[in-house]
Amino acid sequence: MLMSFALSSLRSRGKSLALTFLALLISVSVLLSVEHVRLQAQESFNRTVSDVDLIVGAPSGQLNLMLYTVFRMGSPTNNISYASYEMLQQHPQVNWAIPISLGDAHHGYRVLGTNQQYFDHYKFGNKQPLVFSQGESFKGVFGAVLGADVASALNYKLGDDIVIAHGLGAVSFQNHDDSPFTVTGILAPTGTPVDKTVHVSLQGIEAMHLPHAQLDSVLELPDTLTNPAVQPDSVTAVMVGLTSKFATFTLQRELNNYDDDRLMAILPGVALTEMWQMMSSVENLLRFISLLIMLSSLFGLSTMLLASMQQREKEIAVLRIIGAGAGTIFRLILVEAMLLAGAASVTAVALVSGVFAVAKEWLASHYGMFISANLLTLHTALVVGAIMLATLICSLLPAIDAYRGAINQRL
């Protein structure tokens, strides 16, 4: 009875109610979006690399090394020698080692030189391996494997010839026109920076930096990785998987003190956490702003209810005289506020889910943010629960007002 009365009463106050509802809807939507993006960004961030125990590169900062090896952002500072890679590969505690050579781009997409180890051992998300949606990995010097986004954005098919530019810009004056690569494979989407990478062989990277005359001689020979003219002498970094996780710290110390080359080994998990902490101040700012928006619209709700008390004096007098206790009036105001906030929350969940379902592709392709449209999580439930609790607290004032008014009501 209380419920249907509250509904009818809310309906009768159409305009101010609609505005309050909109204010609540917007603020709940903002709060939910911020929370959702925050969690999803963290998840998408943490799933970029998996199962790698150490990343080894030239000494710089661990964030820098992490950024260019895993996120393919920024520019590598220094290389390490190819001999160091071979040392790592043969190390008894190392299970596998993936060489990475960076520094070139194709239409703004990073070009990464590597070898077969990458396709065998690189994992993302929850230890998911890379899968070819078409073709296979490169066999010769001039093969290229494209990430899913590169292939779809530039509309490449298997067998297409692509030209790789020196440097990282989308437009380069120094195109390596003479070293055309052929697409041999396209990877399935991963939701990580791999989708935006062009993978070529280490030898391919060497070949495109050769002088013209030498390159011609390479091109004349059969396309094999053993060609002595294109053997790599350095790599940017190496991703390492160990035989036993217990060896991680021992090996890290050993590599940091390595005599034949200047090396730095980092733990990806630790670096990821450190990076995320840097972002957390922005994240906290966003949360703070959305909480303020929420708070202001709750005050709006409170004001709306308080203002309506004046016009509802008669209604409350009628309720009192037919035997409604002051407690009933108090509960009525709370029920009204809760109905309003509940309706706004449900609508906001639907709205935000809808927006993310539509914007999902665009966010992934433009910002590399992989946001799921599924908002029905425990966290959302907690946020909505907190909103309802805050609503309850904010509507206490008008409810107490109504209660007092009801007590002092005269006929």
What is the identity of the amino acid at 294? M
Q: Which of 127/410 has CB closer to other proteins?
A: 410
Helix (H, G, I), strand (E, B) or coil at 261: coil
Smallest gap from Cβ 396 to other proteins, in A, equals 20
Between β-strands 143-146 and 175-187, what pairing exists: parallel, antiparallel or unpaired?
parallel
Q: How far apart, in whole angstroms, are the C-alpha atoms of residue 318 and residue 411?
A: 9
Q: Which of 267/324 has CB closer to other proteins?
A: 324
Q: Which of 309/324 has CB closer to other proteins?
A: 324
Pick the closest to residue 195 from 143, 141, 153 (CA basis): 153
Smallest gap from Cβ 404 to other proteins, in A, equals 13
Q: Which of 322/378 has CB closer to other proteins?
A: 322
Q: How far apart, in whole angstroms, are the C-alpha atoms of residue 84 and residue 77?
A: 17
Smallest gap from Cβ 283 to other proteins, in A, equals 45
Residues lying near other proteins in the complex (CB under 8 A) are found at 1, 5, 8-9, 11-12, 314-315, 317-328, 409-411
Q: Which of 42/409 has CB closer to other proteins?
A: 409
At 226, give phi and psi (nearest 5°).
Answer: -85, 0
Smallest gap from Cβ 12 to other proteins, in A, equals 3
Smallest gap from Cβ 7 to other proteins, in A, equals 10
Smallest gap from Cβ 371 to other proteins, in A, equals 43
Q: Which of 327/385 has CB closer to other proteins?
A: 327
DSSP state of 13: T
Distance, first Cα to last Cα, the chain = 24
Q: How far apart, in whole angstroms, are the C-alpha atoms of residue 337 and residue 301?
A: 7
| Planar angle of CA 175, 179, 181, nearest 5 degrees | 105
